[in-house]
Chains A and B, each alone.
Chain A
Amino acid sequence: MSMVLNEEQCLLEDTIRDFLSSHAPVASLRQIRDTQDELGYSDELWQQLTDLGIPSILMPEEFDGLGFGFKGLGAVMQQMGRHLTASPLFATVVLAASAIELGATEKQKQELLPKITAGQLTLSLAMDEGFHHHPLNTDVRLEDDKGKLTISGEKAFVLDGSSADSFIVLVRSFGKKGDAKGLSLVLVNRDSPGLTIERTQYMDGRNAADLIFDQVLVTENQLIGSLGEAYPILQQVLDRGVIAMSAEMLGGCQEVFERTLHYLRDREQFGVKIGTFQALQHRASMMFCQLEQSKSAVLKALSSLDSNSPDCSIQASIAKTLMNDCYQKITNEAIQMHGGMGITDELDIGLFLKRARISIQILGDSDYHKNRYAELNGY
């Protein structure tokens, strides 16, 4: 499967680029941040994106899927990265809807997926616990007391957690921390008794939350997939998530790099453009090399999802690691090369810096993925 976009995917990318630059420039993220917006995204924008069919992008045909594939999704994510667009696309569509598509019963799909594509339902995957992404270490429990099922424990870094209508919660039904067996996914409504949602204020202005489950009562009907058997599904969901997030990061990284190049061509000191200094040229060239390499990894990962290749997990870890390191490097260099202006809030560079650090933590930092890659390759 080719890494290059086909005609329809190119068209999709153009449409989204035009739409976002006119309806959701980076300035709209500032507004969300400055007003401490409850939602952390613009619902109006999400409805407009829904009209464009974006929530259906990954859906199977019977749910009016658009058939753009993962490369199509990647193109959209890249544009969202470039515009720093806050939207439920990642949490609701890429993560939660994937879990439903891959793990849910026909009945659950019929009930949930059409609402998602209509923009009427937002979801969130409640997975991480503690300070780092490590799904196998899940310890939030699903207790079975003679058929009475309850969830107890704390979830952290739940993306869109303060706004989502419902959560898909990763829980442990049996086994111990670190076991793949015993994990389950449960759909839990935000209004469930015993569930406390604490909004966190992360530096990118978007919404996330910590969740505290105190004997939250659930039924077997709320299970997505079989009890204790969620791990294989979860892995597929996370591969999609990791790769889609890498695509968003690629877009953001390209944008902040291009803005920096622009500054190098424009800004004068010592009577010349600062871009004539070889010390800066070489660093810019090295960034470009790293960016192109990361881009190859992301495009390869997207196309391996499209061809449902057995090495999706490996490609996902490569893409996320290289993209993490690249985005960190380029945002730091972007600030340095903008001089004092780089650390003012007047320029947007700082917004990319902050989003970069959040996205690096989303679904695993480089240490996590290098470790995972080593495990997958038997060392």
Chain B
Amino acid sequence: MDEKRNIIRIDGYEKVTGRAKYCGDLYFDRMLYGKILRSKYAHAKILNINYEKALEIKGVHGVVTSWDVPGEKTIGAIRFDHFPFATDKALYSGDGIAAVACESEEICDRALEAINVEYEELPAIFDMFEAMKKESPIIKEEFDSNILTHYPLRKGNVEQGFKSSDLILEREFNTQFVEHAYIETEAVIAVPGEAKDCYEIYGSIQCPHSTRKGVARTMGVPLKNIRIIQANMGGAFGGKDDSMTILAVRACVLAKKTNRPVKVVYSREESIIDTYKRHPYNLKYKIGVSKDGKIQAMKVLMYADSGAYLSMTPFVTWRSVVQATGPYEVENVETDIYGIATNNPYTGAFRGFGSPQIIYAQESLMDEVAEKLGMDGVELRRINGYKQGSTTASCQKLEGHKVSLMEAMDKVIEKSDYFNKKEEFKIYNAKSERFKKGIGLSCSFRGCSLGAEGTDATGAIVSVQADGSIYILAGLAENGQGLKTTFSKIAADVFGIDVSNCSYLPQDTGFIADGGPTVASRSTLMGGSAVKLGAEIVRDRIKDSVKKTLEASSLDDIVFENGKVINIKNKKEIEFKKACEIAYFDGKNITAYGWYKAPDVYWDEEIGQGPAYFTYVYGSQIAELTVDTWTGKIFVDNAYAAHDVGNAINYTGTLGQIYGGVVQGMGYGLFEEVDVQDGFIKNTNLDEYFIPTVKDFGNIYPIVIENPDKYGPSGGKSLGEPTIELMSSAINNAVSNAMGKRFYKIPIDLETIVTGKQLKRKQKRGSEA
């Protein structure tokens, strides 16, 4: 690695010494512990909750239910349909019914056992297709059907397109529920404030401002009464958004009831049972191609299991509809996606956000089409893949940024020696009976930031001190991805100083404006731009103050470099520190707010057309693996990942994002699955829900491509999510390359490899449960 580009993580010191405080590590005076009682049924009416007995236990300070929620009973990022405490009904097995605040967690357990809830079990629906039947009961009263969302996309005329095709292929794919499995489980401490009806909430909260909205709404107080302070985050991957609002509300209601700080830390089991998962999808693809490999038409029909709550289903499925046909030029497209309510655990945001499912399907399909046409998948992708100026399914012309799909593919092919390996493996497989080797590729494009999902703007405060050291405070949060370091680097670069001069303050809704959620890989692009703008404002003020000292005739002659402020005309220079001191004594405000609003985007919901995102990123990954056909074990020997990141501002962090995303992608393709049976999760801890260990794969080769983007700070854009979305299809293609057989479902587990099907019992219909 280029040593110069290695910047040291600014929160590294506290994290390797054990000093970094995560929410679970915080203690407050008179603090109580809280725990949640969850539903016994996947769907039931709550007739009565009797907690008299619990209150008699020594050390129990309070029990709360929906009755104790002083404001509105619901929260929701998109629609207010989610009850932190089930009010009349429990809609899934993780629904909270009551909560207790006690002197210890152990007393909490006893208190929960002493609560008696009378239920009336209702028929439950666990299957999306059953939920869509006319005769099925409606699960969520506030909706008029179990179809919660529908996004269509129409372009050209698909029937015409299929008519002019030489080959038509129809395939159905299925994906699974997946758990985020951040190593830190959810934690919150709600502390009653000094002022009346005010609360401070500390927590592993991914989007403090969203959580604040939910807490203020349910507590029935103005936003200013709630201060959310983000503790260090032990990973989020999209998973600590509305789930944390739910938890924060529960803790806050307990704090109100007891008038004491209340800490709630979910056990791993609670974390898995309570919080949202990645949406399982059913995807039906129909594709028509001409003999020469040009795609003529694509018809895509998808269903996403939303579970019991809406959560982020609209935005997740919207991204799917925008990107469903992949990075390919297709004249005729008809896509529909439906989000369906069931009594399963609810689903929501998860790194990738509606892309891993579709990419798995569409990239597997591309290889199969190529096979049928007698060409390599790479060739088919070259024919149809996006190039500069290509048009997307929603008729957006790809311009204003470098369309680097071909570059990503070429680089990953070269690095992996794809074509030679294919030949080698053919020879190997002909000789080897038990072990088979394969190699597979996939590629993608991805819209950056929120796109037409919603308002896209964010802010940052850059506060320069008189001695040249700097505080940065931004509206987006460090979730472990290295944002503090990246933002500090962006500011440091504006001032021409080393990043070690910067400190990043914890996110606190009391001090920084609502800058939207830390999602959609938007931090570098959006937050980074805000930091840069803020820093530039301060830089210009400093210039103004030192103009005299440097005898500069124009501010444009002053540059900030290597810790110095220099007049490039007369070569006069002063230390950056000195310049800050001059500006300070000059009475200049050397703190500034940078605010960045994304360029406008637009979407026509009726026909699914429009420029969905203002810029895109491109990537391609290759998996090279060995299948043990006796045991079904698949081992990825080598994985290659090429991603255009615009500019790798934090190079070490960029590599880390790629390694981490690729490994999560392997888990997604190979063995991760939340086993939901009749609405209840069977694998509730990490002994049964497997995430990859260091021994589960071979080597990963990251390839960083940098085509600076005019919208990003110093050209940087998104990376977090693209890295996870490609591996499952690359693996699927590699497995079929190895075995000469295709699979249509992930995870591609051992049984499926050996027997061709999954050895799992079928779900009961809810009515028989």
Are A and B associated in one complex? no
Residues of chain A touching chain B, judged by Cβ–Cβ distance below 8 Å, are: none
